[in-house]
Amino acid sequence: MPESLIAGIPVHFPFEPYPVQRAYMEKVIHCLRDGTNGVLESPTGTGKTLSLLCSSLAWIRTRQSEHQMQMVKMEKADFSGIGGGAPGGDLSELAKTMGRANNWGVPKVIYASRTHSQLTQAMRELKRTAYANMRSVVLGSRDQLCIHPEVMRELGNSNKTNMCKLRVHSKTCSFQMRVESRKDHPDLRGPTIMDIEDLVKVGQRLKICPYFASRELARANKIELGNTIVILDEAHNIEKICEEYASVQIKSSDVAMTIEDITHIRQVFASGESQDMAGDEPKDFTLDDLTLLKEMLLELEKAIDAVVVDNAVDGTTFPASMMYELLGKANFTYGNVASIISLLDKLVQYLLVASQQMSIRKGGTFTLLSDLLTIVFANKEDVMSKVYASFKVHVLVEESKQGHGKQQGAKQQGGWLGKGTIAAATGSSKVAKIINFWCFNPGFGMEQLLNTQVRSVILTSGTLAPLKPLIAELAIPVAQHLENPHIVDQSQVYVKIIGTGPDRQQLISNYANRDNPKYVSSLGQTILNVARIVPDGLLVFFPSYPMLNKCVDAWQASGLWADISCKKPIFLEPRSKDQFTSTMEEFYQAIRDSKGAVFMAVCRGKVSEGLDFADRNGRAVIITGLPFPPLKDPKVILKRRYLEANRTRENQLLSGQEWYNLDATRAVNQAIGRVIRHRNDYGAILLCDSRFKDASQVQQLSKWIRGHLGDRPQCSPFGPIVRELRQFFKNAEANMKLPDERETDSPLETVCKTEVEPLAAIPKVKREPGSNATFKSANESAIKVEMANSIKTWTPADYASAAGRKLGGAAPNAMDFMSRLDSNVSSIDFNCCTDSKSGSSGLVKIHKRERSSPTAPESTSQVSKKRYKLVENIKVEPSSSQAKVAPEDRAAFLRELRSLVTQDQFRRFGKALLEYKNGTYESFQALMAILLDVLSAPKVRYMLVGMRKYLKNEHKEEFDRRVGNL
């Protein structure tokens, strides 16, 4: 592997690094060497993750070598002293032992990213470097790592976490209990780097919990924040993450349901049912604990009732001290909050057990209250002045879910809840409320990280610009900052600001113009003309969902939608999680079918944040407007006020208006980054809003985008843009090499990437690796029989030309029509007979013929004759006589399955399939149960057979056996 000397450190890189990669690695090494912080931007496709890992690990390896050399010198100095057994020799041995235990004093690296998929990608990059032999531990959530079947059946991360804690506490999780005895197993501590999937596989093989095994490895490697290098990748939303992490919300209905849950537990205790549920096991809490907690919550409910909301629509804002006063009235203080949080955790575990035997909530309200107390009282009393400056309390009126007539009774029956009703009583102050405790200072959270004495913090992403406002908001000292250009040439990117549409109507998506039907029509005409030119995938991003829906409705009414669909099929970003994966797969499939496609999505949505539209999947992106935050949103108003109140010349904070503009531009930068994904990629970026030419907006775009727009960007007329765009793609297709086929994971493919082809299309059986000869033979025969029974078409002409066969002959060939007659035939078309001599058709000609050959050997068994019913001379389409076969394409498979089953059945199928992806044998059993329940009927059994190719190899034998028993 090539070695490059960067900032005095030898760095092994898989290839000769590009200039942008060298610049990036140099900044990383300077941060680590000097113990300073860095904010580094490098566009997507520049090898940012690979550069980050190689440079940081190269520096660590160099430091390790330096410390080891120092230990060798100390050892030599001891030997040259007076006597090898002098006390100095013992000290040297002690120093070496301590050095090895503490990694020779070299800092460790904590690499964090936004999603588990990005962590997996980073570990995959690490595996192909020269540093793959360095020790590493991957940490993930229970949702990704847990293999306990009962825990994984729980819905929601909160329920899974609480159920896991209960199992561990009660010592009923055998996987967790084996961790201690098998933590030193070579498979777990082996030299190979493990990502999340690898860790799960090892856990399943050793029957230990991957979640607790990874934490045991972290403890064994003494991973602590002190003197550690913290790398935050994909940190473009770091300010919002810091603010949201320190913010919390509590509702009147939450308090009411918590009181109701406590009342229910007390009733269970009083009736003695708790003894039946838990036997003689002692409780972790008493009736007195429950009584005291209920009294405190009743006082909290009264305190919330007493809060006066002046503006019932927009709410009322209070200083941060109001939250501490509110909780203080209910006797929640710094002195007792730790014991109360402990009690709430015990109640959650109790309800998890009780909910399995009776109809009761699982303690979600206790978790909400625990989160509130944890966040509010996490701030030490000695920093309250900063808390008061950084936080605000905003109180809103909680909307009721039922009619006003039922609300009064609900209030009388049980606070704001009654019989499960979120209600608001009549009266000036006694209405249900939402108490928001909002943090507006992201530097408050970053300061807590720096106080742990970390060595360096590196924030990096493809879209961090502009850097100065980010550094000012986070309030951390930054010695190294970088805005890398893109790795692609100028000829690979086409960037233009489109200020007018084909009809010369101004394109501006501001509040005053977005309802203008002429603007909406002109925007649609612009997208239509661009769709005619752009090959393959076209992405269109809207400022918000309401704007997207408004345009879709108008274009469908005017016919523009149909015009665009004639050029490329249109896909809309779904808001539900269940439909998202299937919609994305259908979009990718349309690209693979060479039709091209248009995907319409929203800035800040899932599509704009992290999906890969490399090469053909995204050849152009259209930004239809600037996605400003809602101007009248209370949180936006308070954020702007906070900036104006705390802005000084020294801290260089943005003004409220500057922050408002920047928030929109950062969302645009993130959406633009979906297109150019690697060095050989190319695409067009079209900014369809005349406001993009304003200097204030241009300066906030990423540096590599500004380079394409020039010093004084102007809106270009639509006519020349069409000609330039057509010429750009013509030149790019002629000069750029064809991209490698990039297979995109789909919901079915990610379950198991198998090479087995669909049964109906297999001319030759593929043997599955790892199977023995007996299974190979049986599997091959089973597929032959399956193909023999797959009758696509049959006519009497085929019968007439088919040869007879011996009863004891060889196995039937798939193309032998006589063997097909032995299988189940739903219908035979006698109307397609053609007389070879006269050429007349439509006449039925019947030949009396024996089913067996005259030379057949004697047999005691008699072949049963089949009877056929003659039907009228009705033309039958060939497809109607074909035995149905499941679609080969994954997207088509999902569409057909969705059309055959109910919505509830399809939802159950999708959930079981996702669990099967990274699940255990139990998840396969759960999937099989659903498949047999939904697809066992004869008319849909072909879909059940079609599911075989999406299963893991180790499960196919049992699948064949269970399907064969139907």
**59 close to 31: Cβ distance less than 8 angstroms:** no
Contact 829, 795 (CB under 8 A): yes
Residue 270: partners with Cβ closer than 8 Å, 6 or more residues away? none
**Binding site annotation covers 42?**
yes
- CA distances (Å), 410 to each of 251, 432, 748, in order? 16, 12, 47
Q: Is 164 annotated as contributing to ligand binding?
A: yes
Tell me the β-bridge partners of 12: 3
Backbone Cα Rg of the chain: 34
Q: How far is residue 125's CA from residue 50's CA, in Å, rounded to a whole number?
A: 6
Q: Provide the pairing of β-strand 597-602 with 537-542.
A: parallel
Is there a binding annotation on residue 51? no
The residue among 70, 25, 75 whose CA lies nearest residue 47 is 25
Does 209 appear as a known binding residue?
A: yes
| Cross-strand partners of 684 | 494, 620
Assigned token pair, 81: 């002293």
- The two three-digit tokens of residue 829, written as one number: 């078309």
Helices and strands per DSSP (H, E), number in the chain:
41, 17
Is 47 annotated as a binding-site member? yes
- How far apart CA 585 and CA 568 sit, in angstroms, is 16
Is 531 within 8 Å of 619 (Cβ atoms)? Answer: no
Question: Which tokens hold the place of 262?
Answer: 């406590």
Find out whether 43 is annotated in a ligand binding site: yes
Distance from C-alpha of 233 to C-alpha of 464, rounded to nearest angstrom:
11
Which residues are CB-contacts of 259 (< 8 A; sequence separation ≥ 6)? 294, 297, 298, 301, 414, 415, 417
Whether 146 has a binding-site annotation, put simply, is yes
Q: Is 45 part of any known ligand binding site? A: yes
- How many C-beta atoms lie closer than 10 Å to residue 440's C-beta? 22
Count of C-beta atoms within a 10 Å radius of residue 13: 23
CA angle at residue 75 from 72 to 80, to 5 degrees?
125
156 is in an annotated binding site: no
What does DSSP assign to residue 154? S
CB-count burial class (<10 Å; 0-12, 13-18, 19+) for 624: buried
- Whole-angstrom Cα distance, residue 202 to residue 210? 8
Residues making up the annotated binding site for [4Fe-4S] cluster are 146, 164, 173, 209
| Binding site per annotation, positions | 42-49, 146, 164, 173, 209
Residues that constitute the known binding site for ATP: 42-49
